[in-house]
Amino acid sequence: MENCRLIELTSHGDNRGSLIALEKEHDVPFDIKRVYYIYDTKRGVPRGFHAHENLEQLLICVSGSCKIKVDNGKEKEIYELNSPEKALYIGKMIWREMYDFSGSCVLMVIASEYYNPEEYIRDYDKYIELVNGGGI
């Protein structure tokens, strides 16, 4: 889908284990302003249900697995994040829902902007209106 893609991360492994490094510009396609992680999720309890006009994010399931449904107002796609070597880039104006969290799932999110509750679009009908030409 346009504005959303899976990125294969480079893992540096040896007989001690594996390591992944994420550097601004090299691995993350935006300036990093914030990192947060979602953990202690409850089985069957979905999260997300919002979009952002100006936020770009990279989602990495560093432990366990979960599914991410993305929607650009025209098409929807489901990605399964089940490896710390996979990152899902989500661009601006994409509606996202996260669900099917496995036990001990840790979903790390790298974001291009500081947290700002004001810029959340939480109403799906309003999102569809905006994405289909209503002022963007």
Q: Please select the residue that binds ligand TYD; options are 30, 47, 64, 86, rule is CB under 6 A.
A: 47
Binding segment toward ligand TYD, per CB under 6 A, in 2-10, 21-29, 32-40, 81-89: 32-40
Q: Which residues contact 135 (CB under 8 A, 6 or more apart)?
A: none
- Tell me which residue has tokens 């107002």: 73
Percent of the chain as helix, strand, coil, to the nearest 5: 10, 45, 45
**Shortest distance, position 62 Cβ to ligand TYD, whole Å:** 16
Question: Which 86-115 positions form the footprint of ligand TYD (CB under 6 A)?
Answer: 115
**12 given a catalytic annotation:** no
**Shortest distance, position 68 Cβ to ligand TYD, whole Å:** 11
Nearest CB to ligand TYD, comparing residues 47 and 69: 47
In sign, the C-alpha dihedral spanning 124, 33, 57, 105 is: negative
In sign, the C-alpha dihedral spanning 77, 86, 3, 56 is: positive
- Tell me which residue has tokens 């996202």: 96
Active-site residue among 12, 26, 50, 52? 50
Structure tokens at 31: 């300036």
Residues binding ligand TYD (CB under 6 A) = 34, 36, 38, 47-48, 115
Catalytic positions: 50
